[in-house]
A and B are shown apart, each in its own frame.
Chain A
Amino acid sequence: MMKKNIKYLAILALGLVACEPEFDNPIEESGIYTSGEADFSNFVALGNSLTAGFADGALYITGQENSYPNILSQQFAVAGGGEFTQPLMADNTGGALLGGNQILENRLVLVFDGVTPVGPARYTGAPATTDISTNLGGSFNNMGVPGAKSFHLVAPGYGNVAGVASGEANPYFARFASSATATVLGDAVAQSPTFFTLWIGNNDILSYATSGGVGVDQNVTGELDPTKYGPNDITNANTFAGVYKQILDAMTAGGAKGVVLNLPSVTSIPFFTTVPSKAVPLDADTAAFLNSQFEAYNTQILPGLVLAGLIKADEVAKRQINFVAGQNFVTITDESLTDISTAIQGAPFNVPAPQAAVLGQLRQATSEDLIPLTSVGNIGVDLSGDGTQVTGVSVPLGDADVLTTAEQKTIEDARVAFNATIAGLAAANGLALYDAAGDLAQAANGGIPFEGGVITSDFIAGGGFSLDGVHPTPRAHALVTNGILNAIEATYGASLPSVNPIDYGTVTASNEVN
């Protein structure tokens, strides 16, 4: 009897083993995901802050984890992708120290009053602990360096910690440059990538834009040597093309395939679209008083200058100053206007020097002029305390506080030229091209729908841009990831899983601010 029982038990045990659930077509085994002609085993991402996962005005761990290269690597994992390493910061505060002094600011968080959003502020709940001088001791798959322009990727010493304080080197690259003379490109190539992404050139126009156009357009100067550029200059298109080709040649020399991303319009980002140029509220009495002050200027001086041949007739219309009860366009100094400050001090105008200086290149902004997000505090400031010297009204906003239509055209011309280079070199090298510019244009013009919502370029509420108004949210990184995946599938015949943007967050709330 006992013997029989043992047999029963054996049969039962057999039954237990056979009970693990299994899919008819398990996605991990069935081969539905393939890399096509690409090889994702060693994926290296090259770029700037967008590639690094910089957001909310800082680089911090969760932002890095939600960077499009890191999300991509997770999708690659089911089609032969390997490990993907990143030079993670030390904390989620962002910000960084050099020699004990904080040289990079903490991240921004969204402050609420009750359930009403107030606005972004620097997070102070925990101190910044990343020390720039602590080199992480090796290269990483994510070679994105915040702040890098195209030519920085090939600049020796860009990661030399000794040059950080003087601004000659980049604090982020200093953390993982292989040597004081290393280049970003060199450290990327040394990893022998089998696949790469390249998204570079944004800062070649963005720094000019965010500075309000105070830099120089090197396309006008014809200067090709980037070592002679200021930080806010627009890179010469030929310099850009040369560097871009150099990068692609080096990255593809070992047979690697990859995706390049073009450059979205920088003027459609919330950094420029949030603060209205019609920003000055005036009551009827104040408007009338101001108009009386400008009456002679509008009706006599300007026509007089035309008669004198000093300005053209169309400038008269541009330079008219008129205030109304309600919201008014700010007054600005526009470098593209003829400087009349000297002429009007002479006869027959005889304007005193201080007023002449104000009127020199004065005009009221239009809805086409853009005010940087960071200039919001520079409008309506009562400098004299008695209401006679108010910025944006009696004291025009300076060059840095306005991106004029002329400056926007300068930027757009450069962007179009850069994108033509990117498209051309992508085609010449057989690389995939993701039209990031097209997607951002859609976000800014109606929005990009996804299951569960729409991403727009509206500041905070739109879900696409982090609290600095420039850099994407994790959700926008997810969209970029899907765009890149589509480009890879189309170019290399790969089949890859997409990501669900609803699974990625937007801005982070915290009231831990001083």
Chain B
Amino acid sequence: MRKLLLLVLFVSVTMVTYAGGYRVSIQGQRAMAMGHTGVAVINSAELVFFNPAGLVYLENKLNVSVGASGIFADVIFQNEENGVTSETDSSVGTPLNAYVSYQVNEWMSLGLGVYTPYGSEVTWPTDWAGSHLVNNIDLSAIFIQPVVSFKLSDHFSIGGGPIYVTGNVNFNRNASRTTTDIEGVRSNITVDDTGVTNWGWSIGAMFNPTKDFHVGFNYRSEIIIESEDGEATFANFPNSSAAPPNGTTSFTAELPLPAELTLGLSYQYKKWLFAFDYNRQFWEVYESLDLAFGNGQTSINPRNYKNSSVYRFGLQYDATEKITLRAGYYIDETPVQEGFFSPETPRNSSDGFSGGLSFAITPKLAIDASFFFLRFEEVDASYDFAGDGVPFSGTYESSAFGPGIGLTYKM
């Protein structure tokens, strides 16, 4: 009974994980349950993402972690002056992760990871008040990363590896607040591209002052998604020589997936494990989303993001031989500056609460479950840099939560 109470406490008090912008921080079920900490936690193959340097310290020769979450995110908007309200379609994102590591010898481990750290799926009602900024967007990127981990001593290791990224984007918005064809249907543009690839890398280090105390560092490079072979569809423009022709054309655009630096520590005390991660996300690179279309049209969308930080706290408790409980909390700062709040990435600062548990079915195989909930402050915000120069402003409130499940196998 005491254990159950404890669990209730954990699950109901813990919160958790998106990050600002279109970063989706759900790269492991165990980490997620602990507020997405992990740069200094030696626990599972999730280290492929969090800190490859730590892989070499895993006890087992083969470690596998796979998992998936469902993110349910809602954003509501209202403008009191104009009596306008709007709500996004409850989007369901499904970040995935799969990691494997293999200890080649005493001083080297190899690993491979597949994960989805960036994405955004926002669907507003078509032709809503902010439709000149976005009707809907679906952005996803899959990272595939082989890593190698070297133990330099019992106290210090390094690791890292190249990252191969393949990204997809689909984005629709109206041409302006008012342009329509003769039937009154709003003129709109859709850009679509799939399989846009590029390379990046990550590097990590781990320092173990004592057997129970770990300090970790990890840096993942910036990767720019350069879309050049995509298709842009111009629809419902008036049949006029002054308007762009309807139909498809090419487009080019660049979307940065910013670099991220993580510093953290973990400390084991009897059945308890405490972890802290600090993320620095280098959003500064996202200055403007500029599209150049094959028909000569352009679209310049200043973003002017700033670098942002996330502070993560995680706790783990080995309740029984088979059950491990986890909880976490984090503060996620938004990279969006005042006047640049666009409904295409409507995310302000948030508090994250998470919880979860692992249940060992056998000594080798465990089920991992996580849950997170993000609490956003209601915010009065505006985007002041639309093509017409008129701010789009209102009050936004968001919520996001996501249950996730995974498996950990070791032998």
Contact = CB atoms under 8 A, between A and B. Distances in A.
Given A12-B371, A504-B178, A509-B240, A26 B78 contact: yes
B239 A503 contact: no
B83 A22 contact: no
B76 A23 contact: yes
Given A15-B401, A61-B184, A505-B179, A20 B242 contact: no
Given A21-B75, A21-B76, A11 B12 contact: yes
B111 to A, nearest CB: 31
B178 A509 contact: no
A23 B4 contact: no
Interface of A is mostly: loop
A452 B178 CA distance: 13
A388 B390 CA distance: 55
Contacts of A1: 322
Nearest to B388: A452
B182 A508 contact: yes
Given A7-B4, A15-B371, A497-B82, A112 B242 contact: yes
A220 interface: no
Chain A interface residue number, banded: 35 or more
Given A7-B4, A451-B390, A510 B240 contact: yes
Interface string B46-67: 0000000000000000000000
A19 B177 contact: no
A75 to B, nearest CB: 6
Contacts of A62: 180, 183-184
Contact of A503 (B85, B177, B243, B389): B177
Given A32-B80, A497-B80, A20 B11 contact: no
Contacts of A314: none
B399 A23 contact: no
A123 B241 contact: no
B337 interface: no
B72 A16 contact: yes
B327 to A, nearest CB: 13
A112 B240 contact: yes
Contacts of A498: 81-82
Given A16-B72, A16-B403, A509-B240, A24 B82 contact: no
Interface string B222-255: 0000000000000000111111000000000000
A190 interface: no
A512 interface: yes
Interface residues of B, number: 49
Contacts of A474: 178
Contacts of B260: none
Interface string B354-368: 000101000000000
Contact of B243 (A16, A24, A500, A509): A509
B201 interface: no
B215 interface: no
Contacts of B322: 1
A4 B11 CA distance: 14
Given A19-B401, A62-B180, A497-B81, A510 B390 contact: no
A33 interface: yes
Contacts of A504: 178
Contacts of B411: none
B8 A11 contact: yes
Nearest to A109: B182
Of the candidates A8, A499, A503, A512, the one having the most CB atoms from chain B within 10 angstroms of its own CB is A8
A12 B11 contact: yes
A65 interface: yes
Contacts of B75: 21
Interface in B333-381: 357, 359, 369, 371, 373, 376, 378
A114 B241 contact: yes
A4 B357 CA distance: 13
B7 interface: yes
Interface in A473-505: 474, 496-500, 502-505
Given A5-B359, A23-B78, A452-B388, 9 more contacts: A15-B12, A15-B373, A62-B184, A125-B182, A452-B389, A474-B178, A496-B83, A502-B390, A505-B180
17 contacts: A8-B369, A19-B74, A23-B76, A110-B240, A112-B240, A112-B242, A113-B241, A125-B182, A451-B390, A496-B83, A497-B81, A497-B82, A498-B82, A502-B388, A504-B178, A508-B180, A511-B241
Interface of B: 4, 7-8, 11-12, 72, 74-76, 78, 80-85, 129, 177-180, 182-184, 238-243, 322, 357, 359, 369, 371, 373, 376, 378, 388-391, 395, 397-401, 403
